[in-house]
Amino acid sequence: MIQRPIQRGLLLVGTFISLTVFLSCAPRTMRSVVDSRGFLFGVAVRPGDLLDPKDSKLLKDNFNILVAENIMKLQYLRPTATFWNWSDVDNLVRFAEENRMKLRGHTFVWHNQNPPFINNLSDKEAALKVLTETITEVLTRYKGKFYEYDVCNEVIDDNGVLRNSIWMRTIGPEYIDIAFKTARQADPSVKLILNDYNNEYAGTVKGDAFYNLVKGMVDRGVPIDGVGFQLHMLAELPVNKEALQANIKRFRDLGLTVSFTEVDVRIKLPVTPEKEAAQQAVYEDLLRIAREENISCFVLWGYTDAYSWIPGTFAGYGSAHPFDQNKQPKKLYGSLRKILEK
Ligand code: G3I
């Protein structure tokens, strides 16, 4: 039946009103909250997270930046001198593009999770070739795809000196500058980051050693754009806000950005309401400071206790993430959301 113009008009108006009512009643996702604040809120993922429909929906509903928890480490990405394992990384890049998410790269230069052919390097020339070739190959393939990249990770040890890694032993301390220069040459657009743990507080042995290393790089004109504070925290240790903010300020003063790259807050088991409250306070302080200081990005090292790295590394600790074993949001999740909604 042919509708008269007035009927068609009424139908259109009715549809528009129902759609508006539906959309305004639909709960806003965390993703829409962080997008509307222009805040980069992310998480470390495993390949399976992108394939499982429920997990991938959770990622899409909550986060706008992702990092690979393991697959971009050289043990997996370049297990032999001639074999490159691109497929999982290609999937991650595609997933991020399809869902308008940014990506952090993690990591080229590390003392851990290297393949045997790297661990067995003994000659400076050969090590330099592997280092520069790896960085160039990856950043050429993914040119323009990554927002930030942890060019080097954990180069300072717990005593505040350059770590005795395979790169240090074969090439010497200049391996760090060389890695950053090579990365800049391969992809001028990606932000180049030096990432570490226990580097978040000014006035600590490691925090100050990390700062001095970075200041030296800036003074030498090495192309570093920012620093990463991993922030693997303990619920029982409140955040030292003054030392964290003083540290952020001094990196800013060098012209660098600061990213919170691997945030988690572990609880000494068993979990009690008091310990959860302490954990929530640590997460909240970090997130508030991240927002106040306009941090480059705030990335969780895992979203669910179901896949957490914590119990395997810190015996007797757990419950470190905002979603529980069943991937249900904890009270903590609601409190983080409130801070992000402000
Ligand atoms: O791939 C093997 C698998 O084949 C085997 O069956 C399984 C059995 O244990 O192990 C698998 O490898 C594990 C790997 O994660 C992938 O799941 C390793 O044992 C395990 O040691 C490794 O742990 C990773 C750890 O880095 C290695 O140091 C964690 O998942 C990862 O979360 C963690 O991430 C680091 C950051 O890169 C740097 N900052 C610290 C952070 C936490 O340690």
> Tokens for 293?
């200081």
Q: Which CA distances in Å does 202 have to 17, 46, 211, 229, 249?
A: 55, 33, 8, 12, 10
Task: Output the CA 167–ligand 1 centroid distance in Å.
Answer: 20
> Tokens for 140?
């050429």
Q: Which CA distances in Å does 256 have to 148, 193, 247, 263?
A: 13, 9, 12, 20
Greatest Cα-to-Cα distance within the chain, rounded to the nearest angstrom: 84
Q: Give the position, in ligand 1's atom list, of the atom nearest the Cα of 107.
A: 37
Nearest Cα to Cα of residue 287 among 242, 252, 337, 225? 337
CB 256 within 8 A of CB 225: yes
Site to substitute for ligand 1 among 43, 69, 70, most atoms within 8 A of C-beta: 70
Dihedral of alpha carbons 260, 268, 272, 243, sign: negative
Instruction: Report the b/e string of 102-134 with b at 16+ CB within 10 A.
Output: bbbbbbbbbbeebbebbeebeeeeebbebbbeb
Task: Output the CA 70–ligand 1 centroid distance in Å.
Answer: 7
Q: Spell out the per-residue pLDDT of the chain, length 342, in tens.
A: 445 656 666 666 656 555 555 555 667 999 999 999 999 999 999 999 999 999 999 999 999 999 999 999 999 999 999 999 999 999 999 999 999 999 999 999 999 999 999 999 999 999 999 999 999 999 999 999 999 999 999 999 999 999 999 999 999 999 999 999 999 999 999 999 999 999 999 999 999 999 999 999 999 999 999 999 999 999 999 999 999 999 999 999 999 999 999 999 999 999 999 999 999 999 999 999 999 999 999 999 999 999 999 999 999 999 999 999 999 999 999 999 999 999
Name the residue with the closest Cα to ligand 1, atom 27.
Answer: 113
Q: How far apart are CA 204 and CA 100, in angstroms?
A: 38
Q: How far apart are CA 303 and CA 324, in angstroms?
A: 8
Q: Give the position, in ligand 1's atom list, of the atom nearest the Cα of 230.
A: 39
Query: Would you state the pLDDT for residue 5?
Result: 58
Where would I find the H helices in the chain?
5-25, 30-37, 47-51, 53-62, 74-77, 87-98, 116-119, 124-141, 166-170, 175-186, 205-219, 241-253, 273-292, 310-313, 331-341
- DSSP-derived letter for residue 330 is -
Domains defined for the chain, CATH in brackets: 28-341 (3.20.20.80)
- CB neighbours of residue 289 within 10 Å: 18
Provide the 3-class DSSP secondary structure of residue 179.
helix
Residue with tokens 């308008």: 100
Q: How far apart are CA 276 and CA 235, in angstroms?
A: 8
Task: Output the CA 16–ligand 1 centroid distance in Å.
Answer: 51
- CB neighbours of residue 6 within 10 Å: 8
Query: Would you state the pLDDT for residue 263?
Result: 99
CB 127 within 8 A of CB 121: yes
Task: Output the CA 20–ligand 1 centroid distance in Å.
Answer: 46
Q: Is 26 left (phi over 0), alpha (psi -120 to 50) or beta?
A: beta
Site to substitute for ligand 1 among 43, 108, 119, 309, most atoms within 8 A of C-beta: 309
Nearest Cα to Cα of residue 41 among 261, 246, 251? 261
154 is catalytic: yes
Query: Would you state the pLDDT for residue 1?
Result: 45
262 is catalytic: yes
Q: Give the position, in ligand 1's atom list, of the atom nearest the Cα of 197.
A: 39
Mapping DSSP onto H, E and C, the string for 220-279 reads: CCCCCCEEEECCEEECCCCCCHHHHHHHHHHHHHCCCEEEEEEEEEEEECCCCHHHHHHH
Catalytic residue (choose from 262, 274, 292, 341): 262
Task: Output the CA 71–ligand 1 centroid distance in Å.
Answer: 10
Catalytic residue (choose from 125, 154, 274, 292): 154
Taking CB atoms and a 6 Å cutoff, what residues make up the pocket around ligand 1? 69-70, 112-113, 153, 197, 230, 262, 309, 313
> Tokens for 50?
């992108």
Site to substitute for ligand 1 among 69, 154, 261, most atoms within 8 A of C-beta: 69
Q: How far apart are CA 195 and CA 107, in angstroms?
A: 9
